[in-house]
Amino acid sequence: MKHLSVLIIFLCLSRIAFTQTDYWANLVYFSGCPINHIPKGITIPDNDKQSKLILNAILAGTSEEQLKLQFSDSLEIELNKLIEGNVIKRNNNHLEITFPVLIGESRNKMRDLVHKRLLNLNISMDSLVKPLEIALKDHPKLVFHFLWSRVMDDCWWNWYNSEFNTEQGPPSIAFIVFPPHPFQCGTNSDYSSDNSQFAFSWSYNLFDEFFTLPSTNSFYNLAVNKPIPEKDRSFFIRYGLLDTNNVAKIFCYFEDSALDSICNLLKSKYLRMVKGMFDYQKLSNEFHIPVDELFLVVSHEIAYEIFNMINIKKTSVYIPIIKENNPTLDFSALVSWKLSKPNK
C-alpha cells in the first residue's frame, strides 16, 4: 500500500503540473501576409479541452511517457490529431511544438537581449512621441494608438524586406511568449468598401473577447453616423465608443492629411532606428527558431520594450492597453479610421 500511495500522490501532482500554467492563452497571431507558416490545426486546442491540456503539458516540458500517465486512454488520438494539424511533431520520440515558443530561460534571455540593446542604442523617445503629441494636441489620449497601430505596426513589411533584402514580405505566423511582455499588444486592421482603413489596438491585458467584436462595417457606420445594428449598440456603449446621446466617439482623419503625413514620416524614422539591431541569423541559431519567424518575435519585443521605456520616461503619454491605466475599458483611445480621400 505504501507504493500505491506514492503513485496516487505522483498522479495528483502530475495533474496539477499539467494544468497550472495556460501557455496557450498567450498565443499571438501575426497574419495577413501571403506566405503562411501558421499550422493548419492551430485552432484545435481552442475547441478541444483535452488537446489544450496536452499542449500546455508539452510546453511545460512534460515527456510523452509522463503524458501517458495522465491521458492513458485518449493520448494517442489527441497526439495524432495535433501531429496531422502540424501543431506538434515527433523527433526521436520527443514531442516538439512546430511554431515559435519562448518560455523559461529562452524567454528571459530574449527579454534581456532586447532591453540591453535598446539601452545601448539610446533611442530618443521624444523623436517618436513629440510629433504625434503636437499633431494630436486636441486628442492626447490617442498618441499611443497612433504610435503603435499607425506607425510601428505598419512597418513589418518594409522592415523585414530591408533586413533580408527581399520583396516578398514576412510570413504569417503564430507564436507564444510567456510570460508576455507587460506592454504586449496588437492591431486588428481592416478596410471598408470605399478603402478606408480601420485600426483597433488591443491587448490581452485589456480585452480577450475578440470574437465578440462587431463587424468592420458596423464600426465604419458608427464612425460616419450611419445606422448600426441594435446588437452592436450595447458593445459600443459598454466600451466607450458611443455615448448615451448616441454620439460616436471614434476618431477619424483623412488619407494624405497632415496627420497621415506625420505617420508616414515616423514610419521612416522608426525603420532607421531599428534596422540592423540584431544579427537575426545568429539569434535564430541560438533560439532554434527559423530566422524569418524569429525576426517577427524579436521585432514585436522591441516595440513592446520601447513602450516600456516611454512609460518610464514619458509619463505624460497615456498607454490605454494596460488595464490599470484604463480600468473602465474605454476603447475610444484605441480605435481610429483613416478615411479614403473624398471624391477619390
pLDDT of 24:
95
How much is the pLDDT for 213? 87
* pLDDT of 7 strictly over 60: no
Helix (H/G/I), strand (E/B), else coil: 305: helix
Q: Is the pLDDT of residue 217 over 90?
A: yes
Summarised one tens digit per residue, pLDDT across range 45-73 is 999 999 999 999 999 999 888 998 888 77
Cα 88 to Cα 54: distance, rounded to the nearest angstrom: 11
Length of the chain: 344
Residue 124's pLDDT is 86
Question: Hey, how many other C-beta atoms are within 10 angstroms of the C-beta on 163?
Answer: 20
Q: What is the mean pLDDT of residues 207-233?
A: 88
Decide which of 15 and 182 is more confident.
182
Residue 284 Cα distances to 104, 230, 243, 324, angstroms: 17, 49, 49, 35
CA dist., res. 101 & res. 50, Å (int): 20
Identify which of 344, 337, 333, 138 has the alpha carbon closest to the alpha carbon of residue 224: 337
SS3 sequence of 262-285: HHHHHHHHHHHHHCCCCCHHHHHH
Residue 190 is given by DSSP the state E
The torsion defined by the Cα of 84, 85, 86 and 90, in degrees rounded to 10, comes to: -40
> In the predicted model, is pLDDT for residue 87 greater than 80?
yes
The DSSP result for 223-253, as a single string, is: HTT----HHHHHHHHHTTSB-TTS-B--EEE
Q: DSSP string covering 98-163, please?
A: SS-EEEHHHHHHHHHHHHHHHHHHT--HHHHHHHHHHHTTT-GGGHHHIIIIIIGGG-HHHHHHHH
Lowest mean pLDDT among 75-89, 113-127, 199-213, 264-278: 199-213
pLDDT band at 210 (very low <50, low <70, confident <90, very high): low
Residue 8 has a pLDDT of: 35
135-147 mean pLDDT: 97
Answer whether residue 18 shows pLDDT above 50: no
Q: Is the pLDDT of residue 13 over 60?
A: no
Three cell numbers written together for 174: 503564430
Dist. CA 277–CA 295, nearest whole Å: 11
**What's this model's pTM, rounded to 2 decimal places?**
0.90
Name the band, by pLDDT with cuts 50, 70 and 90, for residue 138: very high
Position 313 scores a pLDDT of 87
